[in-house]
Structure 1
Amino acid sequence: MATEALPPLAEPFADRRQQRTADELGIWLYMATEIMMFGALFLGLALYRVTWPAATAEASRHLLKWIGAANTAVLLTSSLTMALAVLAARADRQGRCVLLLLATAALGLAFLGIKAYEYHDEYTQGLMPFAGPGFPLQERGTELFFDLYYLGTGLHALHLAVGIVLVGGLALRLLVDRALLPDRAVTVAVIGIFWHLIDIVWIFLFPVLYLVAR
């Protein structure tokens, strides 16, 4: 079985394996900071749910669960295409890797498009804080739910937009320079880790926000 190629050596590393280990350690340290940030958000949502159970249920009933479910399916599919892109990069199948990366970016754009539709629907109902018609819910504490909802989904959408730029940019670079693989397979893998984190965050956001009324 052929071994996976390592990235070109750069200073100040002594060898390529040391460089690859540093690359992987760097992305995992970055992921740890992201987990702490989103962990604080989930802690806030948990405290809110305990403090305002009736408001949580009332507010959650006004979210479009079918949209949340559709976006969950889109992101899970994008995780599959991203994982297959990493495998293709390691196998030096550049054309297949490019197609899978473009598919991943397209699925990310589809998620944002669906989310934009949902935001517009919430805006027309007056559920968006400080925008649109007057807030329609009378239950005390429901407006705070939507503050946390937009904070969480907005942060997630921002990270997803960054991921789309990274994945799409890498696909275009591989399309132009066909000599990059398999030396840059580790780059595909590192971006893949970031993409999977975005998916995992949504997998937690979906039930916490959309399904608590059930």
Structure 2
Amino acid sequence: MSEINATLSAQNGGVTGADAGSRYHVREHHPEHGTMLGFWIYLMSDCLIFASLFATYAVLGRNYAGGPSGAELFNLPLVGLNTAFLLVSSITFGFAMISAQSKNLGRAQLWLAVTGILGACFLGLEMYEFVELIHEGAGPSRSSFLTAFFSLVGTHGLHVLFGIVWLVTLMFQLARHGLSVENLRRMACLSLFWHFLDVVWIFVFTFVYLMGTLP
């Protein structure tokens, strides 16, 4: 038995038992930039979803089936106000990121709260628009145009709702753990997501609403 132990000790460089196991232990760690890379991959997959919805709207956007067109339905001043809410929320999120990088937790939370309120205002006006359209008999089943419209704009709205839920969750994490490395990484990911939604909405506003009101 002693000869076997001596042989194992020689093979392990003189280290046996628990010491041999600890010698080859690899400490788990978070790969640098791994989260950001994964999140960029997610955003690219989201781009494919919206590209498909835009392509569908491009094909069906003029199929009114005898029903109302966008020029008859869209309230551009209301949509313009809604666009302002979302674009300003992108600016306030930028202020939150600057405050976080300056290690000012209170100000970061304040700007995040303002961002969430603006996002909620955007969703509220969008829901009001949907309710008004349905009340006028222009629901998603009325024509192919309206089906494509509700699908595209509604999918964007769901993303904004998810972003607000994520933002509220992040605010609780900041209140509990402060501006830790993990929370700063989460803020950076949410910032990318929020700005991505702004870019998508600019295309929606231009391609759906502005072009939709043309004769």
* TM-score in terms of structure 2 length: 0.79
Shift of 1:85: 1.1
Could you tell me which of 84, 97, 102 is aligned with 1:73? 84
Identical aligned pairs, as a percentage? 31
Residue 55 of structure 2 is aligned to residue 43 of structure 1? yes
Instruction: Find the aligned partners of 1:123 and 1:47 in 2 and give their Cα distance.
Output: 22
Conserved? CA contact 1:75–1:108, under 8 Å: yes
Query: Could you tell me which residue of structure 2 aligns to residue 5 of structure 1?
Result: none
Conserved? CA contact 2:138–2:146, under 8 Å: yes
Amino acid at match of 1:99: L
- Structure 1 residue runs of 4 or more that deviate by more than 4 Å after TM superposition: none
Conserved? CA contact 2:92–2:114, under 8 Å: yes
Query: Could you tell me which residue of structure 1 aligns to residue 163 of structure 2?
Result: 163
Conserved? CA contact 2:63–2:144, under 8 Å: no
Residue 28 of structure 2 is aligned to residue 11 of structure 1? yes
Shift of 1:73: 0.4
Residue 188 of structure 2 is aligned to residue 209 of structure 1? no
Instruction: Find the aligned partners of 1:54 and 1:187 in 2 and give their Cα distance.
Output: 43
Query: Could you tell me which residue of structure 1 aligns to residue 111 of structure 2?
Result: 100
Could you tell me which of 1, 11, 26 is aligned with 2:38? 26
Conserved? CA contact 1:94–1:181, under 8 Å: no
Query: Could you tell me which residue of structure 1 aligns to residue 70 of structure 2?
Result: 60
- Runs of 5+ unmatched residues, structure 1: 1-9, 136-142
Instruction: Find the aligned partners of 1:81 and 1:99 in 2 and give their Cα distance.
Output: 9
Shift of 1:68: 1.2
Query: Could you tell me which residue of structure 2 aligns to residue 185 of structure 1?
Result: 184
- Count of residues in Structure 1 that have an aligned counterpart in Structure 2: 186
Instruction: Find the aligned partners of 1:73 and 1:31 in 2 and give their Cα distance.
Output: 23
- Runs of 5+ unmatched residues, structure 2: 1-26
Shift of 1:46: 2.3
Instruction: Find the aligned partners of 1:66 and 1:86 in 2 and give their Cα distance.
Output: 31
Q: CA RMSD in A?
A: 2.3
Could you tell me which of 122, 131, 136 is aligned with 1:111? 122
Shift of 1:182: 5.6
Call closer, same or farther: CA 1:67–1:45 in 2, change over 3 Å: same
The higher-RCO structure (CA 8 Å, 6+ apart) is 1
Amino acid at match of 1:191: L
Instruction: Find the aligned partners of 1:160 and 1:184 in 2 and give their Cα distance.
Output: 20
Residue 129 of structure 2 aligns to a residue whose secondary structure is: helix
Shift of 1:40: 1.1
Shift of 1:210: 1.0
